[in-house]
C-alpha cells in the first residue's frame, strides 16, 4: 500500500506521521475510552454537587442586577415626582425612602393585607386612579403594559426590587422636610384662608413691600424654568403660552390690561384689583375661572411650590404683558 | 392431550431436559444477544472486545450491516488508508455526533421552555436559577451549536481540499451543502429563543435579509411568512421555535440519511493515488487493507465522541457561559448590534450596498455555486498540488469570508459619536464593561467617611483637576483622589482617561470630542447600591462647551461577576 503522507529519511514514518495516520491498538483505545467515560461522569458529577451553590449565586447576582436596572429606570420614569433619591417632591409625589413605608406602619394605616412587595407591584403596575388632591397635583399613572402603561412585567419587577431595597438600609437619609405625609398647612383652611393669603400678598406687592423681578418671573413660568422650592419645573408652559395658538389655558398676552373682568369679585381690603387678580389666579386657581375654560382645572398646589417672592416676581413679569 | 399451546415442548424446556437448565439458560441468553445485535453472538462480542480475529467464516461482524437497521447505513469495512486522523479528521462523524448532542441537550432545555414572548425570558432565568444542571445543559447546547457550524464548515473544506466531491460523489457533496444550510438554519433559529436583547437584535439583522428578496412583493411575503408580522414578536418567536425543534431537525435527519447512504454506495473517498477519479471503491477494498467497522472503526468513533464530549464538559465548566442579556426590547436597539459570528460576513456585505444584491442575491449565488460546483469542476485531477486554481479559489473564498466578517463588526463603517463609544466601553448597557469589573467596595470606599458616614456625591475628573473661580477644587484629578490599593478602580479610570484623550484628538466631524472634560460622579443610592454617572462635556471653544452627555450606571454589591461559577 502506498504511503501517501511520505516517509522520513530512513523510510520509516516519523512519530508525527504515525500519530496522524495510524490507529492506536484496539485495547489502548478501549482503555482510553473508558478513562474518558469516567472523566465525563466525574465532571458532570462535580457540576451536580456544585449546582445548589451555583444557583444561589446566580439568583443573588440576578437580584442585584434587577435592583440596578430598577435604579436606572427609576431615574428615567419616577424621579421627577418621587425625587432623584426617593425623597419625594412636594406637591408631586410622596417619598419612597421613608421608614414608615418600609417598616409596615404605612401598610397598617391603609389596611393593606398583602406583602410590601405586592403593594409596590400593585401601585406601580396599576397606578393610583384616585389621588389625594390636597397633596399632589395628579394621580400616579399605571406603568405596567397590563394596565396600559409602558413597562413590561420584568421592568415592573426591577422597580419593585429597587424601591424595596430602600427598606434594606437607611442610606441615604432623605430630607424630612420633603416628606409630605401630612397636608401642608396652607391647604387646611380651604379657599377662604387661601384668599386671605392672596390678598395679603397682593397688598404687599402693591405697597412695594415685596419687589418683584420681572426677568426671574419670566424664567419661572417659561419652558425650562425651575421652581424655587424643590428645583422642579412649575410646568406653566404646559398649558399657557404668551401668544400664538392657545393651549389648554388662556394665553398670557394682554393679561396686565385684561383685569379685572366684569364678573370678577374683588374681596374687601384689596388695594390693587389687577395685582390681586394675578395673585389669586395662581394662589387659588379654582376661585375664579375665565369664561370658556370651565371644567379645565388649573393645578392647586402652587402655594406649596412658590414662595411669596416667587409670586411677586411672576406678577412683575405678568404686568409687563400689556 | 392435544393443545396449540404446548408449553412443555417449547425449545427452551426441551433443551433444559436434554442438556440441563444451566446450559439452556446460557444458550438462550446467547440467542437473545445474537438477535438484538443482528447476528453477533456472545463469543464474537468477547472476541471483538479483546481485539481477536473473527471466530467464524464468513465474518459474522458484517452481519449487522446487512441485517440491522442502524449499521446498514455504515460501510462494513474501511480502507486502512483513511482510518487515521488524517485525512478525514473525523469531521463528518463529529458533525453527525453534534447533531445528536444538540438533540439531547435541546430536549432537556425544551422541558423548561415555552415559546411565548411573555414567558420565554423568564424560562431562561428559571433554567439558570432553579434547574439543576440547567446552565450546564444550556452552555453545552449553545457551545455545541457553534462547534457544529464550525465542524460542518471544516468538513466541507476538507472535502474540497482532497477533491472528494468529484465523480462519483457529486451528489454526496450536494446533500452536504444542503446540510450546511440546515445547520446554519438551526443555529440561527435557536439564536432567537432566549428572547433577550442579543437574540432579538442579532436575528433582526439576519432576518432583514429575507425582506429584501426580489421582487418586493416576494420579500414582503417571505418576511411575513417567517415572522408572522412585519417585526419580530410573539408569532415570530413561535415560528422560529417550530423551525428550530421540528422542521430543521426533521430535514437534517432526512438529508443526513441520504448523505450517509451515498457513502455506503460509493465507498469512502481515498487519497488520490489509491483511487481513480470516477470509480467508486465501495466493494473494492483489498482484503489486506481492510479495517472492519466492527469493532475497529466503531471503537474509534466511540472514543472520539467521548473525547469531544469531555472537551465540551470541561469547556463549559471552566471557560464558557452562554450569554444572556436583558429582556428583548423592540424599542431599544443596543449599541453595536451584530449578527451571530457565522453571519457576520452577510452583515459586512450589507454595509457595502443594496440590501437585495448584497443580502439576498450574492448569498444565493454563493450557495448555488457550492451546490453545482462538483458538476462543473469535472477534471480528473484530485491531488491538491495539481489543483492550483481550485485551491487558490478556496483560499480566496476563505479570505473573502474573513474580510467580510471583519466588515460586519462595528470596527468597519460604523460612524458614531465618540462620547457614545466611551460610555459603551466603560459601561455598555447589555454587556460587561470596565465599570462593572471594579469590585463594589472600591466605589463605596470613595463615598464613605473614615467614621463610616456617607460623604455625599464624589466627583472625579479624568482630564485634570477642575477648580472653581475661587480656587476650591470642584473635581480632583482621579490619580490624586483614589486610594492606592484600589487597583481595579485605577485601571478603569485609566482606560476612561485614555479613551477620552484619544477622542479629544479626533476631528469633531468624525465624532471627536475637542476640549473634553470628563467626569465620574459616584453617589450612594441605597445600601449596597452606588450610582456612577459618566459625564463628558466638550466643544470647539474650550471655555464654553456646547455639548454634554452622560450615562447613569447603578452598580449593586451582588451583581458581578456575571455567571454562576465565578467567570
Burial B94-132 (b: 16+ CB within 10 A, else e): bbbbbbebbeebbebbeeebebebeebbbbbbebbbebe
pLDDT confidence tier of residue B567, bands split at 50, 70 and 90: very low
Q: Minimal Cα–Cα distance from B396 to chain A, Å? A: 26
Q: Minimal Cα–Cα distance from A291 to chain B, Å? A: 43
Query: Domain B90-334 belongs to what topology?
Result: Cytochrome Bc1 Complex; Chain C (1.20.810)
Q: Any CB–CB contact under 8 A between B560 and chain A? A: yes
For residue B343, how many C-alpha atoms fall within 13 Å in the half-sphere facing its CB? 27
Asked if B309 and A69 come within 8 Å (Cβ–Cβ), the reply is no
Q: Any CB–CB contact under 8 A between A72 and chain B? A: yes
Asked if A47 and B317 come within 8 Å (Cβ–Cβ), the reply is yes
What are the CA-CA distances from residue A126 to residues A62, A320, B122, B299 (Å)?
25, 45, 21, 64
Q: Three-state SS for B508? A: helix
Residue B521 pairs in a beta bridge with B459, B533
Q: Look at residue B565 in the predicted model and tell me its pLDDT.
A: 38
In angstroms, the CA A157 to CA A222 distance is 37
Give the mean model confidence (pLDDT) for residues B270-280: 85
Q: Any CB–CB contact under 8 A between A6 and chain B? A: no
A285 close to A120: Cβ distance less than 8 angstroms: no
Q: Any CB–CB contact under 8 A between A15 and chain B? A: no
Q: Any CB–CB contact under 8 A between A95 and chain B? A: no
Q: Minimal Cα–Cα distance from A239 to chain B, Å? A: 29
Residues of A in contact with B303 (CB under 8 A): 29, 32-33, 36
Q: Look at residue A6 in the predicted model and tell me its pLDDT.
A: 47
Give the mean model confidence (pLDDT) for residues B4-20: 85
**Which H helix or E strand runs over A5?**
none
Residue A140 pairs in a beta bridge with A128
Residues of A in contact with B295 (CB under 8 A): 26
Listed range (A107-116, B133-142, B148-157) with the worst mean pLDDT: A107-116
Diameter of chain B measured on Cα atoms: 124
In angstroms, the CA B61 to CA B53 distance is 10
In angstroms, the CA B163 to CA B394 distance is 12
In angstroms, the CA B145 to CA B109 distance is 14
Task: Quote the strand ranges of B59-173, DSSP E.
Answer: 77-79
Q: Look at residue A51 in the predicted model and tell me its pLDDT.
A: 94
In angstroms, the CA B312 to CA B328 distance is 28
What are the CA-CA distances from residue B94 to residues A248, B102, B138, B155 (Å)?
71, 12, 20, 9
Size of interface A-B (CB pairs under 8 A): 157
Q: Any CB–CB contact under 8 A between B309 and chain A? A: yes
Residue B225 pairs in a beta bridge with none
**Is the pLDDT confidence value at B146 over 50?**
yes
- Total residue count of chain A as it appears in this document: 322
Residues of A in contact with B554 (CB under 8 A): 67-69, 71-72
Residues of A in contact with B80 (CB under 8 A): 1
Asked if B299 and A68 come within 8 Å (Cβ–Cβ), the reply is no
Q: Look at residue B164 in the predicted model and tell me its pLDDT.
A: 93
In angstroms, the CA A227 to CA A234 distance is 6
Q: Any CB–CB contact under 8 A between B135 and chain A? A: yes
Give the mean model confidence (pLDDT) for residues B211-237: 89
Residues of B in contact with A1 (CB under 8 A): 80-81, 274, 288-289
Averaged pLDDT score across all residues of chain B = 90
Q: Minimal Cα–Cα distance from B22 to chain A, Å? A: 31
Q: Minimal Cα–Cα distance from B565 to chain A, Å? A: 6
Record the pTM: 0.80
Higher pLDDT, A107 or B185: B185
Partner residue facing A37 (CB), from B118, B306, B317: B306
In angstroms, the CA A24 to CA A31 distance is 11
Q: Could you tell me which of B142, B149, B146, B213 has the C-alpha nearest to residue B181?
A: B149
The string of pLDDT tens digits covering residues B365-406 is: 999 999 999 999 998 899 888 999 999 999 999 999 999 999
Asked if A68 and B556 come within 8 Å (Cβ–Cβ), the reply is yes
Residues of A in contact with B524 (CB under 8 A): 171-172
- Eight-class DSSP state of B273: G
Give CA A212 to chain center in angstroms. Answer: 33
- Which residues in chain A show pLDDT less than 50? 1-8, 174-189, 224, 228, 230-231
What contacts B132, CB < 8 A, 6 or more positions away? A48, A51, A52, A55
The string of pLDDT tens digits covering residues A126-147 is: 988 766 656 677 788 889 988 8
Q: CA triplet B57, B62, B65: central angle to 5 degrees?
A: 155
Q: What are phi and psi of A191, to 5 degrees?
A: -65, -40
Q: Could you tell me which of B296, B118, B132 has the C-alpha nearest to residue B195?
A: B118
| End-to-end Cα distance, chain B | 79
Q: Any CB–CB contact under 8 A between B126 and chain A? A: no
Asked if A168 and B85 come within 8 Å (Cβ–Cβ), the reply is no
Residues 143-172 of A with CB under 8 A from B: 152-155, 162, 165-166, 168-172
Q: Any CB–CB contact under 8 A between B116 and chain A? A: no
Q: Any CB–CB contact under 8 A between A262 and chain B? A: no
Give the mean model confidence (pLDDT) for residues B170-185: 96
Q: Minimal Cα–Cα distance from A55 to chain B, Å? A: 5
What contacts B317, CB < 8 A, 6 or more positions away? A43, A46, A47, B136, B565
Give the mean model confidence (pLDDT) for residues B257-272: 91
Q: Minimal Cα–Cα distance from B381 to chain A, Å? A: 16
Could you tell me the sign of the dihedral formed by the alpha carbons of B463, B465, B471, B474, in that order? positive
Residues of B in contact with A54 (CB under 8 A): 135, 564-565
Diameter of chain A measured on Cα atoms: 125
**Is the pLDDT confidence value at B2 over 70?**
no
Task: Quote the strand ranges of B273-410, DSSP E.
Answer: 290-292
Burial B555-566 (b: 16+ CB within 10 A, else e): bbbbbbebbbbe
Q: Three-state SS for B538? A: strand
Boundaries of every domain in chain B: 7-73, 90-334, 418-556
Asked if B554 and A71 come within 8 Å (Cβ–Cβ), the reply is yes
Asked if B136 and A47 come within 8 Å (Cβ–Cβ), the reply is yes
Q: Look at residue A67 in the predicted model and tell me its pLDDT.
A: 95
Q: Could you tell me which of B410, B422, B426 has the C-alpha nearest to residue B538?
A: B422
Q: Minimal Cα–Cα distance from B343 to chain A, Å? A: 30
In angstroms, the CA A275 to CA A192 distance is 18
- ipTM of this predicted structure: 0.88
Tell me the three cell numbers of residue A277.
387678580
Asked if A26 and B295 come within 8 Å (Cβ–Cβ), the reply is yes
Q: Three-state SS for A269? A: coil
Give CA B479 to chain center in angstroms. Answer: 42
Helices A214-221 and A308-319: crossing angle, nearest 10°? 100
Q: Any CB–CB contact under 8 A between B529 and chain A? A: yes
- Percent of chain B surpassing pLDDT 70: 98
The string of pLDDT tens digits covering residues B439-481 is: 999 999 888 888 777 777 889 999 988 888 888 888 899 998 8
In angstroms, the CA B164 to CA B382 distance is 8
Taking residue A188's Cβ as centre, other Cβ atoms within 10 Å add up to: 11
Helices B234-242 and B170-192: crossing angle, nearest 10°? 140
Q: Any CB–CB contact under 8 A between B311 and chain A? A: no
Most confident range (mean pLDDT) of B2-6, B223-227, B283-287 is: B223-227
Q: Minimal Cα–Cα distance from B212 to chain A, Å? A: 31
Does the N-terminal peptide bond of residue B349 adopt cis geometry, omega within 30 degrees of 0?
no
- Percent of chain B surpassing pLDDT 90: 60
**Is the pLDDT confidence value at B175 over 50?**
yes
Nearest CA in chain B to A83: B525
Q: Any CB–CB contact under 8 A between A45 and chain B? A: no
Contacts 24+ apart (CB under 8 A), B378-386: B378/B166, B378/B167, B379/B166, B380/B166, B380/B276, B380/B277, B380/B278, B381/B163, B381/B272, B381/B277, B382/B162, B382/B163, B382/B164, B382/B166, B382/B272, B382/B275, B382/B277, B383/B163, B383/B272, B383/B273, B384/B161, B384/B162, B384/B163
Q: Any CB–CB contact under 8 A between B310 and chain A? A: yes
The string of pLDDT tens digits covering residues B22-74 is: 999 999 999 999 999 999 999 999 998 888 889 998 899 999 999 999 999 99
Domains delineated in chain A? 67-178 (1.10.760.10), 185-319 (no CATH)
Most confident range (mean pLDDT) of A93-97, A111-115, B291-295, B310-314 is: B310-314
Amino acid at each position: 500500500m502506498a504511503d501517501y503522507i511520505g516517509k522520513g529519511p530512513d523510510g520509516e514514518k516519523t512519530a508525527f506521521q504515525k500519530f496522524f495516520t495510524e490507529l492506536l491498538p484496539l485495547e489502548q483505545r478501549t482503555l482510553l475510552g473508558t478513562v474518558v467515560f469516567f472523566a465525563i461522569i466525574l465532571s458532570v458529577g462535580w457540576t451536580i454537587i456544585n449546582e445548589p451553590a451555583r444557583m444561589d449565586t446566580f439568583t443573588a447576582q440576578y437580584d442585584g442586577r434587577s435592583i440596578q436596572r430598577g435604579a436606572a429606570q427609576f431615574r428615567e420614569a419616577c424621579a421627577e415626582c418621587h425625587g432623584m433619591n426617593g425623597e419625594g417632591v412636594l406637591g408631586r409625589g410622596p417619598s419612597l425612602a421613608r421608614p414608615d413605608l418600609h417598616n409596615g406602619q404605612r401598610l397598617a394605616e391603609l389596611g393593606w393585607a398583602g406583602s410590601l412587595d405586592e403593594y409596590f407591584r400593585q401601585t406601580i403596575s396599576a397606578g393610583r386612579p384616585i389621588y389625594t388632591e390636597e397633596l399632589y397635583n395628579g394621580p400616579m399613572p399605571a406603568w405596567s403594559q397590563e394596565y396600559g402603561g409602558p413597562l413590561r412585567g420584568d421592568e415592573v419587577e426591577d422597580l419593585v426590587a429597587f424601591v424595596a431595597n430602600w427598606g434594606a438600609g437607611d442610606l441615604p437619609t432623605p430630607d424630612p422636610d420633603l416628606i409630605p405625609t401630612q397636608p401642608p398647612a396652607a391647604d387646611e383652611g380651604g379657599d377662604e384662608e387661601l384668599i386671605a393669603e392672596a390678598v395679603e400678598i397682593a397688598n404687599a406687592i402693591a405697597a412695594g413691600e415685596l419687589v418683584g423681578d420681572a426677568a426671574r418671573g419670566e424664567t419661572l413660568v417659561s419652558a425650562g424654568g425651575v421652581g424655587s422650592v424643590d428645583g422642579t419645573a412649575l410646568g406653566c408652559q404646559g398649558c399657557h403660552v404668551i401668544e400664538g395658538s392657545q393651549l389648554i389655558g388662556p394665553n398670557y398676552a394682554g393679561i396686565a390690561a385684561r383685569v379685572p373682568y366684569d364678573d370678577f369679585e374683588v374681596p374687601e381690603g384689596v388695594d390693587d384689583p389687577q395685582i390681586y387678580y394675578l395673585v389669586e389666579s395662581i394662589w387659588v386657581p379654582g376661585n375664579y375661572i375665565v369664561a370658556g375654560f370651565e371644567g379645565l382645572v388649573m393645578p392647586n398646589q402652587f402655594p406649596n411650590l412658590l414662595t411669596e417672592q416667587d409670586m411677586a416676581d411672576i406678577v412683575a413679569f405678568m404686568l409687563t404683558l400689556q | 392431550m392435544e393443545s396449540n399451546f404446548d408449553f412443555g415442548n417449547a425449545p427452551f424446556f426441551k433443551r433444559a431436559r436434554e442438556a440441563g437448565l444451566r446450559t439452556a439458560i446460557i444458550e438462550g441468553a446467547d440467542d437473545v444477544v445474537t438477535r438484538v445485535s443482528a447476528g453477533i453472538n456472545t463469543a464474537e462480542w468477547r472476541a471483538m472486545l479483546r481485539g481477536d480475529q473473527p471466530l467464524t467464516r464468513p465474518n459474522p461482524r458484517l452481519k449487522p450491516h446487512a441485517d440491522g437497521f442502524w449499521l446498514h447505513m455504515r460501510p462494513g469495512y474501511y480502507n486502512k488508508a483513511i482510518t487515521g486522523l488524517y485525512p478525514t479528521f473525523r469531521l463528518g462523524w463529529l458533525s453527525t455526533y453534534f447533531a445528536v448532542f444538540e438533540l439531547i441537550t435541546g430536549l432537556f432545555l425544551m422541558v423548561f421552555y415555552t415559546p411565548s414572548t411573555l414567558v420565554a425570558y423568564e424560562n431562561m432565568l428559571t433554567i439558570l436559577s432553579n434547574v439543576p444542571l440547567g446552565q450546564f445543559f444550556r452552555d453545552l447546547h449553545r457551545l455545541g451549536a457553534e462547534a457544529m457550524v464550525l465542524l460542518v464548515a471544516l468538513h466541507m473544506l476538507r472535502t474540497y481540499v482532497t477533491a472528494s466531491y468529484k465523480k462519483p460523489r457529486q451528489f454526496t457533496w450536494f446533500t452536504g451543502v444542503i446540510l450546511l444550510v440546515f445547520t446554519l438554519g438551526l443555529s440561527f433559529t435557536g439564536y432567537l429563543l432566549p428572547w433577550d436583547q442579543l437574540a432579538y437584535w442579532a436575528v433582526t439583522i439576519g432576518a432583514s435579509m429575507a425582506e429584501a428578496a426580489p421582487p418586493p412583493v416576494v420579500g414582503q411575503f417571505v418576511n411575513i411568512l417567517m415572522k408572522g408580522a412585519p417585526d419580530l414578536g410573539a408569532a415570530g418567536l413561535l415560528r422560529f421555535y417550530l423551525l428550530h425543534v421540528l422542521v430543521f431537525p426533521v430535514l437534517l435527519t432526512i438529508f443526513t440519511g441520504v448523505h450517509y447512504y451515498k457513502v455506503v454506495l460509493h465507498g469512502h473517498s481515498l487519497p488520490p493515488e489509491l483511487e481513480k477519479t470516477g470509480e467508486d471503491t465501495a466493494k473494492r477494498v483489498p482484503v489486506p487493507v481492510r479495517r472492519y467497522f466492527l469493532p475497529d472503526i466503531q471503537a474509534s468513533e466511540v472514543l472520539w465522541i467521548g473525547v469531544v464530549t469531555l472537551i465540551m464538559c470541561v469547556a463549559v465548566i471552566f471557560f464558557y457561559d452562554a450569554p444572556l442579556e436583558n429582556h428583548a426590547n423592540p424599542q431599544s436597539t443596543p449599541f453595536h448590534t451584530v449578527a451571530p459570528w457565522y453571519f457576520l460576513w452577510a452583515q459586512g456585505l450589507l454595509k457595502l450596498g443594496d440590501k437585495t444584491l448584497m443580502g439576498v442575491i450574492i448569498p444565493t449565488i454563493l450557495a448555488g455555486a457550492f451546490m453545482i460546483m462538483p458538476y462543473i469542476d469535472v477534471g480528473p485531477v484530485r491531488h491538491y498540488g495539481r489543483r492550483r486554481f481550485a485551491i487558490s479559489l478556496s483560499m480566496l473564498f476563505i479570505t473573502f469570508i474573513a474580510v467580510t466578517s471583519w466588515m460586519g463588526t462595528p470596527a468597519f463603517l460604523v460612524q458614531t459619536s465618540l462620547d457614545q463609544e466611551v460610555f459603551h466601553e466603560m459601561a455598555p448597557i447589555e454587556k460587561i464593561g470596565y465599570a462593572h469589573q471594579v469590585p463594589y467596595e472600591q466605589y463605596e470606599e470613595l463615598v464613605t467617611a473614615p467614621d463610616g458616614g456617607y460623604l455625599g456625591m464624589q466627583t472625579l475628573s479624568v482630564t485634570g483637576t477642575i477648580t472653581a473661580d475661587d480656587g476650591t477644587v470642584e473635581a480632583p484629578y482621579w490619580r490624586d483622589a483614589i486610594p492606592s490599593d484600589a487597583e481595579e478602580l485605577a485601571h478603569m479610570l485609566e482606560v476612561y482617561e485614555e479613551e477620552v484623550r484619544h477622542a479629544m484628538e479626533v476631528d469633531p466631524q468624525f465624532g471627536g470630542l475637542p476640549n473634553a472634560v470628563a467626569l465620574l460622579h459616584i453617589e450612594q443610592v441605597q445600601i449596597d447600591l452606588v450610582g456612577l454617572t459618566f459625564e463628558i462635556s466638550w466643544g470647539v471653544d474650550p471655555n464654553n462647551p456646547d455639548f454634554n452627555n452622560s450615562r447613569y450606571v447603578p452598580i449593586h454589591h451582588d451583581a458581578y461577576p456575571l455567571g454562576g461559577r465565578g467567570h
